[in-house]
Amino acid sequence: MKETKRPYVILSAAMTIDGKIATISGDPELSDEKDWREVHKLRSQVDAIMVGKGTILKDNPKLHIKYFKHKGYYRIIIDSNLSIPIDSNVIIYQPELYPTIICTTKNVPMKKIKEYESKKVKILQYGDGKQVDLTKMVLDLSTMGINSMLLEGGGNLNWSFIKHDLIDEMRLAIAPWIVGGKDAITLVEGVGFEKMKQGRKFKLLKVYKRDNYIVLKYRREESL
């Protein structure tokens, strides 16, 4: 029988004092080495790491672990039209340790799917709308044994997770810069809620200061 539970989702991000997760030109270099170590430690504790297509196009991350021994995990990319470059780092870098799944829509032609599958990428299709149906997706991922997941942005994917109430915990590092720019990407983008009470509320669990950084840990109120 199909399980109805979904993975436990932890949103992890580094942002500036003014809430940006990259500069206006897309420079994402916010974390220092100690912050990366903490993020890599978190990565070593989950079954999957997820990012949106925008993050792949702008940063081309490997989504690997540099500092710890670990058993590997899935890298999951959200890409409605299956359009990330076939030579992206998430596809070519260590696929045996970090198998890559691209979640897309049913609008993608089979020929394109086969092209990515030939690079050992697993393609999953959720919904036939403009964007990936995340609610269907999370339920399905849990049937694949993905019980915990780190959501590593960017701002637009974070919004969809917030809107659909899919975030259980957050780990936010506040880096000591202000960069401004009304079009610089923020922690959560999207259309936003009109009223404060429609917003998703989180409980502050932990705050700590390290060097010039602050790390905040939150859990959604209903999970407590």
21 interacts with ligand NAP by CB under 6 A: yes
Instruction: Find, among 54, 48, 120, 50, the residue nearest to 81 by Cα.
Output: 54
* Helical ranges in 76-192 per DSSP H: 89-92, 110-117, 134-143, 155-163
d(CA 134, CA 149) in angstroms, rounded, equals 13
Among 26, 181, 192, 199, binds ligand NAP (CB under 6 A): 26
CB 54, min distance to ligand NAP, A: 2
Burial of 62 from C-beta contacts in 10 A (0-12 / 13-18 / 19+)? middle
152 interacts with ligand NAP by CB under 6 A: yes
Among 10, 22, 150, 162, binds ligand NAP (CB under 6 A): 22
Residues numbered 66-95 forming contacts with ligand NAP, rule: CB under 6 A: 78-81
d(CA 100, CA 122) in angstroms, rounded, equals 6
d(CA 201, CA 56) in angstroms, rounded, equals 29
* Residues facing residue 45 across a β-bridge: none
Among 156, 177, 179, 217, binds ligand NAP (CB under 6 A): 156
154 interacts with ligand NAP by CB under 6 A: yes
180 interacts with ligand NAP by CB under 6 A: no
Cis peptide upstream of residue 155 (ω within 30 degrees of 0): no
CB 161, min distance to ligand NAP, A: 8
Among 121, 125, 153, 218, binds ligand NAP (CB under 6 A): 153
Residues that bind ligand NAP (CB under 6 A): 13-14, 21-22, 26, 28, 30, 51-55, 58-59, 78-81, 131-132, 134, 152-157, 160, 185, 189
